[in-house]
Chains A and B, each alone.
Chain A
Amino acid sequence: MMNVSRLPTTNMEYTRTAIALHWLIALLIFSLFPLGIYMHDLPFSPARLKLYSYHKWLGVTVFTLAIARLAWRLTHPAPPPPAGMPAWQRIAATATHHLLYALLILVPLSGWLMSSAKGFQTVYLGIIPLPDLLTKDKAVGDALLIVHQVLNFTLAALVATHLGAALKHYFFDRDEVLGRMIPILNRNKP
């Protein structure tokens, strides 16, 4: 197992671009999720309007980065799982990763659609108006709020799983999995 990971083949590591996109999106999600929960319960105020706008802008940023990341991922294969990893873990990891990618697109998309249906256009950074993909419809807007929430809690659960698995690989399996995304933790580098 260790021998395999020491091979000087570049496809054993994520590219710098993939690593940068991963952490940038992670940072944004960790800001967006609590912001979303916090702002939802605020009374009507300038602060609320501002935070909603910031949340939308950050969400559009994630959406854009996620598309770039998917395109990168399709043209730059991820390193294979460590040899000797049980099949169920490989399947679980692949499924989690695919779902995470899907949600990186679907969560912001559901927010954008909700904004349109609720009649509030999304204007990125207050400058670039995004097209309204839906016409104003209160029932659709309310339904999309639920969709946005459910997708987000699913995303939160998957992120927790992803994080737990990464820590398990580092502390229990003591393999190179976490080091591929955090190069300074890479145990196999001299």
Chain B
Amino acid sequence: MIKRSLITLALGLGLGAALLAPALAQLDAAKSSVVAVSRQMGVPVEGVFKRFSAQVSFDPARPAEGKANLEIDIASFDLGDADFNRETTKKEWFDTAKFPKATFVTTAIKPAGAGKYEAAGKLTIKGRTQDVIAPVSFKTEGGQQVFEGTLPIRRLAFNIGEGEWKDTATVADEVQIKFRIVTAKK
């Protein structure tokens, strides 16, 4: 679906527009990762989103024109334990049946020191959207753009962990989203 809309977009904008802005780069999935680190009873627990897609358009010379969008397949969340994985798809947690995707769409990118940027954007999980600012470090490795950072979020702001799971003494409210987005070679 994303691909199709991209093609439509490219056709619509035409070659002229495509020359003005850097092209949207696709993801090098093997090198990219999105990991959520939560704390259970003080124990850090890592969960990996195994499937996600991203399109990034970024030129370090003109960061303000950069943009990125990320779409995460929530059902691909893997805590490394089948019971836990089954649990996280339920209504109390991600409610995967109703909300299969989480998205992040940038609204503004600002420089924040050498190789560092602040990517403001809208993060939507479980149907709830929050304005967030992700600190991003940027580098180029072998012709590929690498964006890395950690975005702290509050799970309860997204209604993740309902009912008895609202208890933050068991599962902390703060969750660290660690991301590493590597664009595919052009």
Which residues of A are interface residues toward B (Cβ below 8 A)? Answer: 44-46, 49-50, 52-53, 118-123, 125-127, 136, 138
Please state if B80 and A119 are interface contacts (CB–CB under 8 Å).
yes
Please state if A49 and B45 are interface contacts (CB–CB under 8 Å).
no
Please state if A49 and B81 are interface contacts (CB–CB under 8 Å).
no
Interface of B is mostly: mixed
Q: Quick one: which of A46, A121, A136, A138 contacts B43, CB cutoff 8 A?
A: A121
**Chain A residues whose C-beta falls within 8 Å of the C-beta of B167 in the assembled complex:** 46
Docked Cα-Cα span, A44 to B82, in Å, equals: 12
Assuming A44-B84, A46-B165, A138-B80, is B42 touching A126 (CB within 8 A)? yes
Docked Cα-Cα span, A136 to B40, in Å, equals: 17
- Name 19 interchain pairs, CB-CB below 8 A, sorted by A: A44-B83, A44-B84, A45-B164, A46-B170, A50-B41, A52-B41, A53-B40, A53-B41, A120-B43, A121-B43, A121-B44, A123-B41, A123-B42, A125-B42, A126-B41, A126-B42, A126-B43, A127-B42, A138-B80
**Chain A residues whose C-beta falls within 8 Å of the C-beta of B45 in the assembled complex:** 119-120
Please state if A49 and B80 are interface contacts (CB–CB under 8 Å).
no
The residue of chain A having its C-beta at the shortest distance from the C-beta of B43 within the complex is A123
Interface of A is mostly: loop
The minimal Cβ–Cβ distance linking B178 to chain A, given in whole angstroms, is: 16
**Chain B residues whose C-beta falls within 8 Å of the C-beta of A52 in the assembled complex:** 41
**Chain A residues whose C-beta falls within 8 Å of the C-beta of B46 in the assembled complex:** 119
Assuming A46-B165, A49-B171, A50-B170, is B80 touching A136 (CB within 8 A)? yes
Q: Quick one: which of B80, B83, B84, B164 contacts A46, CB cutoff 8 A?
A: B164
**Chain B residues whose C-beta falls within 8 Å of the C-beta of A125 in the assembled complex:** 42
Interface size class of B (residues with CB under 8 A): 10 to 19
Please state if A118 and B81 are interface contacts (CB–CB under 8 Å).
yes
**Chain B residues whose C-beta falls within 8 Å of the C-beta of A119 in the assembled complex:** 45-46, 79-81
The residue of chain B having its C-beta at the shortest distance from the C-beta of A115 within the complex is B43
The residue of chain A having its C-beta at the shortest distance from the C-beta of B82 within the complex is A138
Give chain B interface residues in 149-186, CB to chain A under 8 Å: 164-165, 167, 170-171
Give chain B interface residues in 78-112, CB to chain A under 8 Å: 79-81, 83-84, 87
**Chain B residues whose C-beta falls within 8 Å of the C-beta of A44 in the assembled complex:** 83-84, 87
The residue of chain B having its C-beta at the shortest distance from the C-beta of A127 within the complex is B42
A-B residue pairs, 10 tightest by C-beta: A126-B42, A53-B41, A46-B170, A119-B80, A123-B42, A123-B43, A44-B87, A49-B170, A46-B167, A46-B164
Docked Cα-Cα span, A138 to B167, in Å, equals: 29
B 32-45 to A, binary, CB cutoff 8 A, 1 in contact else 0: 00000000111111
